[in-house]
């Protein structure tokens, strides 16, 4: 059974650019959640997708958007990057909606310069 994978592992972007991060959910999982973890902080909930629909959103501006595909993989898109967007982005998949049984990927480290 393949766990949650994320790509890329690291990337560096310039302020104002756009970025797309990708997440492959664990087999059989239909729910994906995205989190932002700044240095020294706990992960902050960005949003959750359940069966291709957004199913809950944290306190993040609209320039943070997402998609979930029919195979339940997911993308996180961030437009107009700001320096404060530098963080570890974590994705978690689960077999049902909500926040039970979440399995996290290793994260994507985004640096905005």
Partner 1 sequence: DQQVKQNSPSLSVQEGRISILNCDYTNSMFDYFLWYKKYPAEGPTFLISISSIKDKNEDGRFTVFLNKSAKHLSLHIVPSQPGDSAVYFCAASGTGNQFYFGTGTSLTVIP
Does 43 sit near partner 1 (CB under 8 A)?
A: yes
Does 90 sit near partner 1 (CB under 8 A)?
A: yes
- Interacting stretch for partner 1, rule CB under 8 A, among 13-21, 50-58, 66-74, 79-87? 50-58
- Tracing tokens 């943070």 back to the chain, one arrives at 64
Is residue 4 within 8 Å of residue 92, measured between CB atoms? yes
Which residues are CB-neighbours of 62 under 8 A, at least 6 positions away?
none
Residue 106 phi/psi, 5-degree rounding, is: -75, -15
Read off the tokens for 63: 């320039």
Q: Which of 56, 60, 64, 95 binds partner 1 (CB under 8 A)?
A: 56
Does 105 sit near partner 1 (CB under 8 A)?
A: yes
CA distance 32 to 100: 12
Does 40 sit near partner 1 (CB under 8 A)?
A: yes
Does 42 sit near partner 1 (CB under 8 A)?
A: yes
Binding site for partner 1 (CB under 8 A): 4, 33, 35, 40-45, 48, 55-56, 58, 90, 92, 97-107
């Amino acid at each position: 059974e393949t766990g949650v994978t994320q790509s890329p592992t690291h990337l560096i972007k310039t302020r104002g650019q756009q970025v797309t991060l990708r997440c492959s959910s664990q087999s059989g999982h239909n729910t994906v959640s995205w989190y932002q973890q700044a240095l020294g902080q706990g992960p902050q909930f960005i949003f959750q997708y359940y069966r291709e629909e957004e199913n809950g959103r944290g306190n993040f501006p609209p320039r943070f958007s997402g998609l979930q595909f029919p195979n339940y993989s997911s993308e996180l898109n961030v437009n107009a990057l700001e320096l404060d967007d530098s963080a570890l982005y974590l994705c978690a998949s689960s077999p049902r909606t909500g926040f039970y049984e979440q399995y996290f990927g290793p994260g994507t480290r985004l640096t905005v310069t």
